[in-house]
Amino acid sequence: MTVCVYGLWHLGSVTAACLASRGIKTVGLAEDAQAAAKLSAAKAPLFEPGLDAMLAQGLHDGHLSFTSDLAAAIASTDLLWVSFDTPVDNDDVADVRYVLDRIRGTFPHLNDGTVVLISSQVPVGSTAQLERDFAKVAGGRKVSFAYSPENLRLGDAIQVFTKSERIVIGIREDWARQVIEPVLKPFCDTLLWLRVESAEMVKHALNAYLATCVTFTNEVATLCEGVGADMSEVEGALRLDPRIGKKAYVRAGAAFGGGTLARDVQFLKIIAKDVGAQVPVLAAVLESNAYHKGWVVRHLRGQLGALKAKKVGVLGLAYKAGTNAIRRSVAIEVIGELIEAGADITVYDPQVASLPDPLHSLVTIAPSIDAVFVNSEAVVLATEWPEFRELDFGRLVRTMKRALLIDQNAFASKQMSKIAAVNYIIAGKAR
């Protein structure tokens, strides 16, 4: 059994490394020789804890290799696993053509009996379209297209992949299952075999549901701030209701970012338009989330007034802890608002050492956490890096011009509860 993983950014590099870790012969197909060479040197394209080491082990053991030779990689494969991270623009609209065109580019090289397993985020109906497109050039070859929605999370991707609670797979033919099952079984006992369109819809429904939960909770938290309620107390009561549950997304915090959740909400909006359905709740989710992204700056203005020339520190730049990805990071969006307001911004992130233009010339990247606090009139805790929990906030706030800490997710609440001389602002709680 040989698996070719095509598309090697975050999703693909994790997929290839994890497959190889189970002794599965895995060929990673990169789009250019430079990317293949970098991965062959065990350097992942994006920081993910443990990924470089896992790549190195797979290469050392001989289970993993990388190439940019499309024809050679596909010629020897039994399972072509398509794992492109679907690009998304600043309006959360996905460039689906980018993924589909690359899959179509494999058609001349697919062998009779190959299974094409797609995990990239594409709208429902995409797999059927590829089936129709391949049928026009099949020339008697029998190829099965399947879909398995990815479920990885930046910063915890290896754990999620190797110890999945369930894996959803949409197939047409039983023989495709016989090819896919031995590849996935080492990672999960619960394999859910669905029709292709149902598997595609699972990803849309899951992300749209999570997006709706986050947005609803943040709206309730905003109301709590206005009436003297405490969202953390409301949250505790909600989690004890069996109709909601212990793991529900009912914690006040930042708006969702990164593009992943919003991309699937956009997919469903487009599908609704195509089938003539109305989805007013989904349509409102993105609007509400966009408003909630302004929470930090609204509170800064409420505390400091005009922000022009005010020194504001920001702890964290990455989309979330455990990655160095900054595109679609809520922290970056907050910084953008602060720049427009004329604030003097100093930032620190343990994994992000530089910023692209124009932010590079507009923001000071501090060499240490201390420099973020010194003489600042406010500090925003933006990314929940574990090391930030261990900070001596009592010492740090004493170096500030004004002891004001904005912590939307209440990440440092335990430490801050011991410090009296600080104005500590969290979401969902009236001041």
pLDDT tens figures, 279-293: 999 989 999 998 999
Place of tokens 């849309």: 204
Tens-digit pLDDT profile for residues 235-255: 999 999 999 989 888 889 888
- Are 245 and 239 within 8 A, CB to CB? yes
Strand order in the sheet with 64-67: 64-67, 25-29, 2-6, 79-82, 115-118, 144-147, 167-170, 191-194
Residue 22 and residue 53 in one domain = yes
**Structure tokens belonging to residue 160:** 């999620």
- Comparing C-alpha atoms, which of 147, 149, 140, 69 is closest to residue 106? 69
Residue 146 and residue 106 in one domain = yes
pLDDT at residue 202 is higher than 70: yes
pLDDT at 134: 98
431 assigned to some structural domain: no
394 assigned to some structural domain: yes
Other Cβ atoms less than 10 A from the Cβ of 249: the count is 16
274 assigned to some structural domain: yes
What is the rounded CA–CA span in Å between residue 227 and residue 240? 23
Residue 312 and residue 329 in one domain = yes
When pLDDT is averaged across residues 357-383 and rounded to a whole number, the result is 92
What is the rounded CA–CA span in Å between residue 184 and residue 48? 22
Residue 38 and residue 185 in one domain = yes
- Whole-structure pTM value: 0.86
Residue 405 and residue 264 in one domain = no
Pick the last residue of a domain from 253, 273, 292: 292
CATH code of the domain in which 276 resides? 1.10.1040.10
Residue 141 and residue 252 in one domain = no
CATH code of the domain in which 402 resides? 3.40.50.720
255 assigned to some structural domain: yes
285 assigned to some structural domain: yes
Q: For the ranges 131-145, 211-225, 350-364, which has the lowest average pLDDT?
A: 350-364
408 assigned to some structural domain: yes
For 182-237, strand residue ranges (E) read 191-194
- Comparing C-alpha atoms, which of 319, 200, 312 is closest to residue 260? 319
pLDDT at residue 360 is higher than 90: no
What is the rounded CA–CA span in Å between residue 398 and residue 111? 67
Q: For the ranges 9-23, 151-165, 174-188, which has the lowest average pLDDT?
A: 151-165
Pick the last residue of a domain from 194, 221, 245: 194
pLDDT at residue 187 is higher than 90: yes
Pick the last residue of a domain from 241, 265, 292: 292
pLDDT at 416: 84
Residue 50's H or E segment, with its range, is: none
Place of tokens 């406010």: 378
What is the rounded CA–CA span in Å between residue 26 and residue 3? 5
**Structure tokens belonging to residue 391:** 């900070």
Whether omega before 350 lies within 30 degrees of 0, making that bond cis, reads: no
Amino acid at 165: E
pLDDT at 151: 81
205 assigned to some structural domain: no
What domain range is 316 assigned to? 295-425
Residue 224 and residue 184 in one domain = no
For the chain, the average pLDDT equals: 92
pLDDT at 258: 62
When pLDDT is averaged across residues 308-327 and rounded to a whole number, the result is 90
19 assigned to some structural domain: yes
pLDDT at 89: 77
- Are 336 and 293 within 8 A, CB to CB? no
- Are 64 and 30 within 8 A, CB to CB? no
- Comparing C-alpha atoms, which of 104, 144, 143, 141 is closest to residue 122? 104
When pLDDT is averaged across residues 57-82 and rounded to a whole number, the result is 96
Residue 12 and residue 114 in one domain = yes
Residue 291's H or E segment, with its range, is: helix 280-292
Residue 90 and residue 146 in one domain = yes
pLDDT at 238: 94
Residue 145 and residue 273 in one domain = no
For residues 89-117, b (16+ Cβ closer than 10 Å) or e, as one string?
Answer: eeebbbebeebbebbeebbeebeeebbbb
Tens-digit pLDDT profile for residues 133-144: 999 999 999 999
Residue 168 and residue 39 in one domain = yes
Count the domains in the chain.
3
Residue 160 and residue 53 in one domain = yes
When pLDDT is averaged across residues 419-431 and rounded to a whole number, the result is 85
Tens-digit pLDDT profile for residues 8-24: 999 999 999 999 999 99
pLDDT at residue 266 is higher than 80: yes
